[in-house]
Structure 1
Amino acid sequence: MSLIAVTRKEYLDSIRSYTLIGLIALFVVFTTFLAGIQWIPNMSGVSANGDVNTLAFLNSMRQPALYLVPLVGIMVGYKAIAGERSSGSIRLILGLPNTRREIFFGKLFGQTAVVSTAILIGYGAAALVALVTYDSFALIEFGLYTLLTLLYALACVSIAIGFSASTKSRARALAGAVAVYSVILIFWDVITALLQTAIIGYEVPVGEQPAWLAIFSSLNPSTAFAHTARAVLPEYREISQFPYIETNIWVDWYGFIVLALWIVIPVTIGYVCFSRADIE
C-alpha cells in the first residue's frame, strides 16, 4: 500500500461513513444562507468604499472560513491516527506493505481532501447564489479567497493530525482538538487583551501598540488567515479590522509565514511522535 493508496482509502472511507456527505451538506447550508444575506459590516462607523457586491460576498464567506473550517478540520482530523490506535486497527494497517510515513501523510492528505471537497462544493453553492441574486459577481476574488480558505483548512487539519499522531488515546486527541479550537477562536484574543491590560493598560493610543503585542496577536492561525486575505484581496480590508496591528513591524503578507508554521510544526511533531511510538 503506497501513500496514494492510503490517501485514497481515507477519502473513500469518509464517503462510506457519510462523513463527506454530512460535511458537504453543512457547508452548503451555511454558505448559501450567509451569501443570501448580502450584508456588509460597518467598521468603526465608516462606510465601505469598495464594490458593494464584492464586499458583501467576501463578508459572507468570512464567517464559514473563520468558524466552520477550523471546527470541521480539527474534528475530522483528530481521530485519524489516534482512533486507529485506540481500536487496534493500526496494527492491521502496519501489517500491510507500507511505512509509518505513508500512513501519517496519507491520513493528512486524505483528511485534507475530505475537508477541501466540502469547502469547494459549499463555496460553489454560495457562488451560485451570488450569480443569481447579486448585481455582479467577483469571480477572481472568489477564486483567490477559496484558495486561501483551502490553505487555512490544511493548517487546521495539520494541527488535528499532529495531536492525533502524538497520542494513542482518542479521548486525549479529542481534548486537544477542542482545546486548540477554543484557543484559536475564543481565548487568543482574551489572552491578548489581558496581557495588554496587565502590562500596558486598558487603553493604548493608536499607533503606540508595542511590537510584541502586534506579533502575538497575529500568531493566531485565524488572524493569520485574515491577514493573507487582506494581503491578496484589498477589498477584504474594508470588512476586517485589527486594533492591535498599528505598528510598522507587521505586514499582512506575514500571515502566509504564520500559516506555514501552523502546518509544518504540528506535522513535524506529530510525525516524529508517531514514528517513535510503540504500537501495542
Structure 2
Amino acid sequence: MSWAVVARKELRDVRGSRRTRWLLGAVALLFVVGGYLLPISGSPEPTSADYASFMVSVVALVVPLVGLLLGHRTIVGERASGRLTLLLSLPYDRLDVVVGKFLARTAALGAAIAVGVVAGAALVNYPFGSFEAGTVGAFLLGTLLYGAAFVGVGLAVSTTTTSTAVASSAAFGVFVLFVAVWSQLRGVFLALLDYLGLADGTMPDWALFLYGAEPGMSYRRLVDGFFAGVETGPYLGPEAPWYLGEWVAAALLACWALGPVTLGYLRFRSTDL
C-alpha cells in the first residue's frame, strides 16, 4: 500500500496549492451555475436528466482542460526539480508513484465535480423541478470517468518527457486535438476511407466506432443515450449496432481512464531519471 502514502502526500500538495484550489473551485461553481441557469432558461419543470443534457457541452470543454492541467506536470515537474529522485530513494517504486499521483489527482477533480453536480442538481430540484438520486449518481459517475480519462492522459504525457515545456505543449496539443479539432475530422476520415476503398460515401459501422471512440464523443454519447433519450443518428438510432451505443461509450471512457496512464507507466519504468 505504498501508493496510498504517495496519494496522501499528493492530496496535501493539491490542498496546499492556491492555484489548484481555485481551479477546482471553478469546476464546482460551473456545475452550480448550470443548476441555477437551467430553470430560468425556459424549461418549466426541469428534471435531473435535463440537467445532465444541459451541462454536457460545457463539461466537454472544461473538464478535459482541468484534467490535463492537473496531470501534465505531475511527474515531470518533480523529475525536473530533483524531488522525484529523492522520492524514489524512499521505499516507493515507480508504480507506487504513478498510481498514487493518478488516484490523488483524480480524487481531487472528482470531489470538485461531485460537489458541483450535487449542488447544481439540488438547485434544479428546489424549487423548480424534481431530484432523482439515481440519475444524478449516474451522471456524476459518467462525468468522473470523463475527468479521470484526461487526468490519465495528462499523467501519461508527464511520464514520457523530462521537460516541463514539452509536457505543457503536448497537453495543449491533446486538448486542441480532442476538444477543438476532432469533431471537424469526420469528413477527412471519410475521404481517407473512400481513397482506400473501405467506404462508399458513408462510414461503415466499424469506422464509426473508431471515430467515435474519442473521449469527448464517447461522453456525449453516454449522456445522450442515458439522459437525453436520443434515439436517432448513426450511433444511437434504432438501426445502430450495439457497439455504437451508450454502454460501450461508458466502457470506452473507462479504457481512456486506465489505458494512457498504464502505457505511461510502462514507458516510465524503463527510463532514466
TM-score range, shorter chain: 0.7 to 0.9
Deviation at 1:241, TM superposition (A): 6.9
Corresponding residue number in structure 2 for 1:148: 142
The 8 Å contact of residues 115 and 153 in structure 1, kept in 2 or not, is answered as yes
Residues 182-223 of structure 1: CA distance to partner in whole angstroms, max 9, x if unpaired?
11112111111223356569xxxxx95422441233111111
In structure 2, distance between residues paired with 1:136 and 1:251: 27
Q: Which residue of 2 aligns with 1:273?
A: 267
Gaps of 5+ in 2: 196-200
CA distance in structure 2 between the aligned counterparts of 1:200 and 1:39, rounded to whole angstroms: 46
Give the aligned partner of residue 122 of structure 1. Answer: 116
Report if aligned partners of 1:227, 1:252 keep a CA contact under 8 Å in 2.
yes
Letter of the 2:205 counterpart: A
Aligned to 1:112: 106
| Corresponding position: 1:6 with 2:6 | yes
How far apart in 1 are the matches of 2:46 and 2:157? Answer: 41
SS at match of 2:216: helix
Tell me if the contact between 1:192 and 1:213 (Cα under 8 Å) persists in the aligned partners: no
> CA separation of 1:29/1:241 partners in 2, compared to 1, >3 Å: closer, same or farther?
farther
1:88 is aligned to 2:88:
no
Instruction: Please give the per-residue CA displacement for 1:222-275, whole angstroms capped at 9, x wherever unaligned.
Output: 1112233345x2x3234x975676663322222133223323331222101111
Shift of 1:76: 0.7
Spell out, residue by residue over 1:8-31, the C-alpha distance to the aligned partner (whole angstroms, 9 max, x if none).
Answer: 011110101124521342023322
Instruction: Summarize the Cα distance change of 1:56–1:20 in structure 2 as closer, same or farther, 3 Å threshold.
Output: same
Structure 2 match to 1:26: 26
In structure 2, the partner of 1:261 is 255
1:223 aligns with 2:206: no
Change (3 A) 1:215 1:11: same
Gap runs ≥5 in structure 1: 42-47, 202-206
Aligned residue for 1:62? 56
Matches of 1:217 and 1:108, distance apart in 2: 27
The match for 1:196 is 190
- Taking the aligned partners of 2:154 and 2:97, their CA distance within structure 1 comes to 15
C-alpha distance 216-38 of structure 1, shift in aligned 2 (>3 A): same
Return the alpha-carbon distance in structure 1 between the equivalents of residues 169 and 152 of structure 2: 16
Q: How many residues align?
A: 264
Contact residue 227 and residue 255 of structure 1 kept, 8 A: yes
Deviation at residue 166 of structure 1 after TM alignment: 1.0
Q: What's the offset of the Cα at 1:127?
A: 2.2
The CA distance in 2 between the partners of 1:274 and 1:8, in whole Å, is 21
Q: Is the 8 A contact 1:39 1:60 kept in 2?
A: no
Q: Is the 8 A contact 1:31 1:60 kept in 2?
A: no
Identical positions, percent: 27
Is the 2:53–2:224 contact (alpha carbons within 8 Å) kept by the matching residues of 1?
no
Counterparts of 1:148 and 1:212 in 2: how far apart (Å)? 24
